[in-house]
Amino acid sequence: MSRDSRRLQLIESTIETLAQRGYARTTLADVARTAGLSNGLVNFHFETKEKLLAETLACLAEEYRLNWTDALTNAGSDPAAQLNAMIEADFNPAICTPQRLSAWCSFWGEAQSRPLYQERCGSNDALYCQTVEGICARLIAEGGYGGNPVLVARVIRATLEGVWLELMTMSAPIEVAEALATARTCAALCFPRHFGPGGLLAE
């Protein structure tokens, strides 16, 4: 395998290991075992656990950014269609998998990973927030709604983040379809003339 392909293989194995063991308990030896490779090969490509986790988080962050920006590009210029695309992008089967959700939760849940998260994901998160706020501002203005677009966007983001966490709840996890329906219901409460429980309303 090429160097890039091998590194990607190890990052995928790290995602799987994080899902199984969590941030603190993941070791290079665990990743090597998951990948079916030697410890030495993992050390050769990443040297330390910290470097491997940093690259894994960067890969997840870039994957997530490309997912929603591609969806937004394909949605056209209508703000309701754009918001719908942003919501549905979070449930794309390519990124909304049990392993990836668990890996994200591992990074979110460990205090020691917060500086790393801010370094690797802070600018992406800021862009996402600004984008959703801008879409909500346009939809409020064009649709004749009231409300503060910053707060409305925050409610929508909090709902999306919350249902992602509910997908991982150990006691009573919800299904992806229910998570998407919950997000759509949130949009319908904020913009009832544009969204319903089934998603974007036809004009």
Show pLDDT as tens, one digit a residue, over the chain (203 residues): 687 888 899 999 999 999 998 888 888 999 999 988 888 888 888 888 888 899 999 999 999 999 999 999 999 999 999 999 999 999 999 999 999 999 998 888 776 678 888 888 889 999 999 999 999 999 999 999 999 999 999 999 999 999 998 998 767 778 999 999 999 999 999 999 999 989 999 86
Q: Is the dihedral of CA 133, 138, 141, 143 positive or negative?
A: negative
Rounded distance between C-alpha atoms, residue 188 and residue 186, angstroms: 5
- Domain 54-200 bears CATH identifier 3.40.50.920: no
**Who's near 109: CB < 8 A, 6+ residues apart?**
22, 23
**Does residue 65 contact residue 169 with C-beta atoms inside 8 Å?**
no
Looking at residue 132, its pLDDT comes to 98
- 193 three-state secondary structure: coil
Q: Are 163 and 183 in contact (CB under 8 A)?
A: yes
Q: What is the pLDDT of residue 118?
A: 85
CB-CB neighbours of 94 under 10 Å: 10
pTM as predicted: 0.90
Residue 197 is given by DSSP the state T
Q: Say how many CA atoms lie within 13 Å of 36 toward its Cβ.
A: 1
Domain boundaries, the chain: 54-200
20's tokens: 């199984």
Residue 23: C-alpha distances to residues 47, 48, 63, 115 (Å):
17, 14, 20, 14
Residue 203 has a pLDDT of 65
pLDDT tens digits, residue range 11-69?
Answer: 999 999 999 988 888 889 999 999 888 888 888 888 888 888 999 999 999 999 999 99
CB–CB of 83/157 below 8 Å?
no
195: which strand partners?
A: 200
Q: Which helix (H) or strand (E) segment is 199 a member of?
A: strand 199-200
**Cα–Cα–Cα angle for 105, 17, 172, rounded to 5 degrees:** 45
